[in-house]
Structure 1
Amino acid sequence: MTQYRVLPGPEHFLPPAAASMGIYLPNPGEAHINGVIVPEEKAYEEAARQFLMAQVPTIFPGPLVLWAWNEKAAKKAAAVRSLYETLKECVQPGQKPMLIPMPDYRPKYP
């Protein structure tokens, strides 16, 4: 079986479940990049590259980070804030970094 990747096009709107396509969770110290498991350090480098190449690099912190439910979540919140501050310092003049809080992921229906 070939390595599965979600490709641009109609499929990315409703991709199949990752588990049904042979994708599994990475071990501690590993991460996913486009469905390929890589060392965590390589994932950090790729994330930094993507942030610095984006016209509007955006971080969307979710409920766990926003509400700091416990000490671990508070540390993650501090890390996200530090990442955003560092991103603001590193971007080029034409880029506009944003931090958009997402306190609730549930869809809003009329």
Structure 2
Amino acid sequence: IKEDLYNSLSIKEDAEEKENRRETSFGFSPYLADFRPEYYRKPKAVPTPQEDRTRTSMQREVFLGEATIGEEVVGYREAFDTLARWLKESERPTIVLGPLVFWDFGEKELQEKARLLRELIEKVGRFNVKVLPDYRPKLKKYDPSVEMDPPNPHHAVLHGRHDLTVLVGVHCYRTDFVIRLLRKYTDTKVVALCGLYGHPTAHLSTSFTDAEKLEDFTKLL
């Protein structure tokens, strides 16, 4: 399984290499733009997909398999079954939309993920949606009910008293930081739907979570 996943990522990286050499342009995702806080203004630059791809050698070191639940390595379908159950049991779930899906970089795979995330949010119906559009400190000038402060991600979770937090579209290096602070300062279950090698420090994590897998999960609900 690991070899197949490595090969899958390599093919995607090769296909996108020429595109990534160009200057990256971006705009709000048409599927998720209405979750933008009214006060938020588009910055001149945001973290791009390439930032994660340049760190793949470090991320491979933590790769355990398709998914993890606690310390157990499982298949992604079993992980999705567990997440579906957690969602049904959760009283105050939140989903955090990171730069990779909140912004439209013109990449078809990420555009499709954003579309399916919108379907997932609408189907669940109970998600408190928070955005993490960039990683600049908010300096207390933000609304924790709709946005996460990058240096203090636990503040938004504590504010909403969320018992389940799903991270998607957040860069891997930032996801690790968010998981660490949420586990230290909150009681929330942390779920990372990772597009690359996964995050075993989360309560539940899936690796190489592409649009097809998001669609599979949505069908379970």
d(CA) in 1 for partners of 2:96 and 2:75? 24
Aligned to 2:114: 77
1:89-104 correspondence runs (5 A):
96-104=126-134
Amino acid across the alignment from 2:111: A
RMSD: 2.1
Structure having the larger proportion of residues in helix: 2
The alpha-carbon deviation at position 106 of structure 1 amounts to 4.3
TM-score (norm 1): 0.61
Aligned to 1:50: 86
Per the alignment, in what secondary structure is the counterpart of residue 26 of structure 1? coil
Aligned to 1:5: none
Aligned to 1:10: none
d(CA) in 1 for partners of 2:136 and 2:90? 27
d(CA) in 2 for partners of 1:105 and 1:31? 26
* Pair 1:26–1:79, CA change in 2 (3 A): farther
The alpha-carbon deviation at position 108 of structure 1 amounts to 4.1
Amino acid across the alignment from 1:26: L
Aligned to 1:34: 70
Per the alignment, in what secondary structure is the counterpart of residue 60 of structure 1? strand
Aligned to 1:9: none
* Pair 1:87–1:64, CA change in 2 (3 A): same
* Pair 1:34–1:107, CA change in 2 (3 A): farther
d(CA) in 2 for partners of 1:47 and 1:66? 22
d(CA) in 2 for partners of 1:106 and 1:38? 35
Q: Deviations over 1:32-61 (max 9, x none)?
A: 111321011001111111111111111111
Amino acid across the alignment from 1:25: F
Runs of 4+ that moved beyond 6 A = none
Gaps of 5+ in 1: 1-22, 89-95
d(CA) in 2 for partners of 1:38 and 1:65? 26
Q: Deviations over 1:5-51 (max 9, x none)?
A: xxxxxxxxxxxxxxxxxx84133xx2111132101100111111111
* Pair 1:68–1:32, CA change in 2 (3 A): farther
Amino acid across the alignment from 1:84: I
Gaps of 5+ in 2: 1-60, 141-221
d(CA) in 2 for partners of 1:85 and 1:36? 30
* Pair 1:82–1:26, CA change in 2 (3 A): farther
